[in-house]
Structure formats: structure tokens, C-alpha cells
Amino acid sequence: MPTLIEHLSRSKTALLAELAQDVSDRQVLEAIANVPRERFLPQELRPYAYENRPLRIGHGQTISQPLIVAIMTQALALRGGEKLLEVGTGSGYQAALLSQLAAEVVSVERVPELAEQAGHVLAELGYANVSVHAAGETLGWPDEAPYDAIIVTAAAPRVPQELMEQLVMGGQMVIPVGSRDLQELVRAVRSPEGPALTNLGPCRFVPLLGPGAWSPATAH
């Protein structure tokens, strides 16, 4: 009977081989190889850390499917010097990946308990270029804007102007957009003429709540 460590090692190797069929960015794959996804999960779910599926982390939230995490991260085409905003810290797993690919990651989370927990795990694992904040009244984190890139890990009914305004001109955002039940993953590049949009394929996320997105009353 393999130990948990042996099981996780084999599972991670199999997951990376699976992801490599759809993800071509070697740096993204290396980041996934380096980050211990199990540390961002409740103890009872750690044996399933490297299955290619979302898992529940409490408070109605999930840790996203690794393939979606990889596709979203790859779409940003990070070069290493960026200041990046993540909207929806969740478990902190994607912030850990992004911290290896960007210079600075600012992450916001509307569930205070998740923000606190993610901050602790990220600090314990030594991801010093990530700061986690409990979300305020405004969507995103305008206090530290502008950002070179924004990644949104919850679905909005449209590309929020509130977030586009927090990007540098030419900066890009990756965000799920659509109805509460089905969305398309979209890359939006800020330009003087308005956002230039690229469709990256179908996806399904929990709703993004707040100004410019879903209100709590209509999100269920």
C-alpha cells in the first residue's frame, strides 16, 4: 500500500502528463510541478489533490480544476516582471502558481476566513511576493492599481469596467463571463477604444459578487 506521499507524487506526475496535452507553456507546467496543491486543501481531500477536477474548500467555494488553472495562467503570457491582481483568492493555490511567474501578486477574497487561511498557507510555504486582502466595497483592489494583468477566478455577467480601469493601458485580464450556469473564458486587453476580447473556450465558475458583477441576491 503506497504512502500518501508516494500516492501524491505518482498522481502529480500523471496530472502533469495530462495537462501537457493542452498546455504548451513550460513555465506554467513547471509552476504546477513545484506547488504542493495538497497544502491548499482540507486534510480529508488531500489524497485527491492531483485529480484533474475542482474540489470544495468550504464557504461555497472551490479550488479550480488544474486544467482551467493552467489555461488561465497560460493565457496571461507572464514574463516575470508583472504586477498582477487576482480577484478571488480562494484556497491560495493559483496565487502560489502566479507568484512564480510574476514579480508581485495582489490577491483579494470576499470570504474573510478563506483570505486568512490562504494568507497563512502562502506565508508558511514561503511565497513572499503574494499579499492577500479581504475584499472591500469596490471590485478588485484599486488601492494598489494599476496592474499589468488581472485574473478573476469567479464568473461575471460581463467584463467589469471597474476592473478594466485597474489595468495599465495594454494590460490584460482573464475572466469567466456569461450566465450563472455557463460561461466563456475571456481574455480582455485594455485599449483606448475599449477592451479587445478573445474567447478562450467554455468554463464554469462560482459567481463573482460585488459591484460590476452579480449581486448576492441574484447569484444563486
Q: Are 183 and 204 in contact (CB under 8 A)?
A: yes
pLDDT at 17: 97
| Distance separating alpha carbons of residues 194 and 117, to the nearest angstrom | 37
Q: Are 162 and 188 in contact (CB under 8 A)?
A: no
Q: Is residue 219 part of a domain?
A: no
Q: Is residue 98 part of a domain?
A: yes
Structural domain of 110: 53-213
Q: Is residue 43 part of a domain?
A: no
Catalytic residue at 64?
yes
- The CATH number covering residue 102 comes to 3.40.50.150
The catalytically annotated residue of 64, 91, 99, 107 is 64
pLDDT at 157: 92
CA 94 to chain centre: 5
Q: Are 90 and 114 in contact (CB under 8 A)?
A: yes
DSSP conformation letters of 143-191: GG--EEEEEE-SBBSS--HHHHTTEEEEEEEEEEEE-SS-EEEEEEE--
pLDDT at 209: 80
pLDDT at 143: 95
Q: What region does 11 belong to: left with phi over 0, alpha with psi -120 to 50, or beta? A: alpha
Q: Is residue 22 part of a domain?
A: no
Q: How many domains does the chain have?
A: 1
Q: What region does 149 belong to: left with phi over 0, alpha with psi -120 to 50, or beta? A: beta
Q: Is residue 45 part of a domain?
A: no
CA angle 188/194/195 to nearest 5° reads 5
Per-residue tens of pLDDT for the chain, all 220 residues: 679 889 999 999 999 999 999 999 999 999 999 999 999 999 999 999 999 999 999 888 889 999 999 999 999 999 999 999 999 999 999 999 999 999 999 999 999 999 999 999 999 999 999 999 998 888 999 999 999 999 999 899 999 999 999 999 999 999 999 988 889 999 999 999 989 999 998 888 888 887 777 776 554 4
> Which one-letter DSSP state was computed for residue 39?
G
pLDDT at 217: 56
